[in-house]
Structure 1
Amino acid sequence: MTNIVDPLVGQIADRVRAERGRRRWTLAQLADASGVSQAMISRIERGESSPTAVVLGKLSAAFQLSVASLLALAEGAPEEGLLSGAMPVGSGAPAGFDSAAGAGVRRGKDVAEWRDPGTGYRRRQISGPSFPAEVAEIRLPAGAEVPYPAAAFAFIRQIVWVLDGRLTFHEGDQVHELEPGDTIELGEPADRVFANTTDLECRYAVILARGARP
């Protein structure tokens, strides 16, 4: 059974606080950069509030990190390995990988799943931190939609691949209706919305590769 990760709330709190500290930003500066209120950021950093996918998107945009990277860092993945293709010397295998079973084997039962408390959106990281791209599986419930600001897509190349169900994808003023097997390769950063307007769950994969570093 997939593990629904409540402890990630505390790990995300630590990561957001650490990213803000790295930039020497005050709460007010992060609030201004992200559009998330100081009160909400403070609750997130204290582990008192579980951020929604929308809030994570705004925070990751302010930090110029993908949501996938922010969550992976919260889970303890070495930052040098994210979207770089290189594991630091001595870092060891990432959580969930079974070195005895062969290089890069990750057992499904060990892979944690993050759930958005606002929409029920579920995200599972498929790739490990040593892989040169980020691959995630998303399950979007019926009737749910998740908007992301354009800044969340800066410095990132991304493909969305619909596996099951139907995804209504808004990219700026354009709307794309995607069926199983359809893919869309995203261009220049734009405000985007992932929406499921049907009565059935939509499952899709997101593949990210970093372009120029910020």
Structure 2
Amino acid sequence: MESEDQFEKHVAERLKRLRVERGLTLDQLADLSGVSRAMISRIERSEASPTAALLARLCSALGVSLSVFFASAETEPSPLARRDDQPVWRDPESGYLRRAVSAQGTGSGTDIVEVEFPAGAEVRFPGRPSGRSQAQHVWVFDGVIELTVGDTVHRLEAGDCLFMNVGDVHGYRNPTDQPARYAVVISLGP
């Protein structure tokens, strides 16, 4: 597994590579994502670690899921994703830990992510366009989370599963003093 410094460098390189591949300037990506040009530049230089909400906005503007963003271009495609090889990222703001469980480079239209969500943590997402054909299931293994989807707050406990459009999710919150663990299964659509 990568060290935190190596992973931050990977995030910086990946963001710049995706932006350049799409022919976007820093200003264009800033306009599309609503993230300041200065912040994007700092992330690309490994001077700032993006929060989950900020990274979600950048990925949406680039047209990729977080799992695709974290996938290593150097990794050989394999149907098997060993735990030690799965990309892990910690949100610097909420402390949530995100593990991309899916095998990389298989061409599958589904991503599977495991999340460890700290007690009392919250992640808010600004409104995002929901026309990207991405849907997701959130399946809680342990603890409690509250998801704000559109105008509705759903309280999910162990064993509960909720289906939604990715763009309709406005926030995740752990209202308890215990950590929560859940899976997110994302359908990337056509």
SS at match of 2:146: strand
Offset of residue 152 of structure 1: 7.1
Distance in 2 between the 1:179 and 1:14 partners?
A: 37
TM-score by length of 1: 0.79
**From 162, 169, 186, the counterpart of 1:184:** 162
Distance in 1 between the 2:94 and 2:166 partners?
A: 27
Distance in 2 between the 1:77 and 1:171 partners?
A: 35
Residues 111 and 67 of structure 1, relative CA distance in 2, 3 Å threshold: closer
- Give 1:54-73 correspondences, 5 Å limit: 54-72=53-71
Distance in 2 between the 1:106 and 1:138 partners?
A: 16
Q: 2:30 — aligned with what?
A: 31
**From 96, 101, 107, the counterpart of 1:126:** 101
Distance in 1 between the 2:44 and 2:2 partners?
A: 23
SS at match of 1:30: helix
Residues 124 and 40 of structure 1, relative CA distance in 2, 3 Å threshold: same
Identity of aligned residues (%): 39
Structure 1 residue ranges, 4+ long, deviating more than 4 angstroms after superposition: none
1:61, 1:153 within 8 Å by CA — same for their partners in 2? no
> CA RMSD of the aligned region, Å?
2.1
**From 72, 87, 91, the counterpart of 1:116:** 91
SS at match of 1:161: strand
Mapped pair 1:196 → 2:171: no
**From 121, 126, 142, the counterpart of 1:144:** 121
Q: 1:11 — aligned with what?
A: 10
Offset of residue 185 of structure 1: 0.9
1:123, 1:137 within 8 Å by CA — same for their partners in 2? yes
Distance in 2 between the 1:152 and 1:10 partners?
A: 30
Offset of residue 188 of structure 1: 7.3
Residues 187 and 38 of structure 1, relative CA distance in 2, 3 Å threshold: closer
2:88, 2:97 within 8 Å by CA — same for their partners in 1? yes
Q: How many residues align?
A: 187
1:4, 1:113 within 8 Å by CA — same for their partners in 2? no
1:4, 1:115 within 8 Å by CA — same for their partners in 2? no
Distance in 1 between the 2:120 and 2:143 partners?
A: 12
**From 128, 144, 147, the counterpart of 1:166:** 144
1:58, 1:152 within 8 Å by CA — same for their partners in 2? no
Distance in 2 between the 1:124 and 1:4 partners?
A: 14
SS at match of 1:123: strand
Offset of residue 165 of structure 1: 0.3
Distance in 1 between the 2:166 and 2:86 partners?
A: 31
Deviations 1:129-174 (A, max 9, x none): 2144211100111111112343377221211101100010000110
Q: In the alignment, residue 144 of structure 2 is paired with which amino acid?
A: R
Pick the structure with greater CA Rg.
1
Offset of residue 105 of structure 1: 4.2
Q: 2:19 — aligned with what?
A: 20
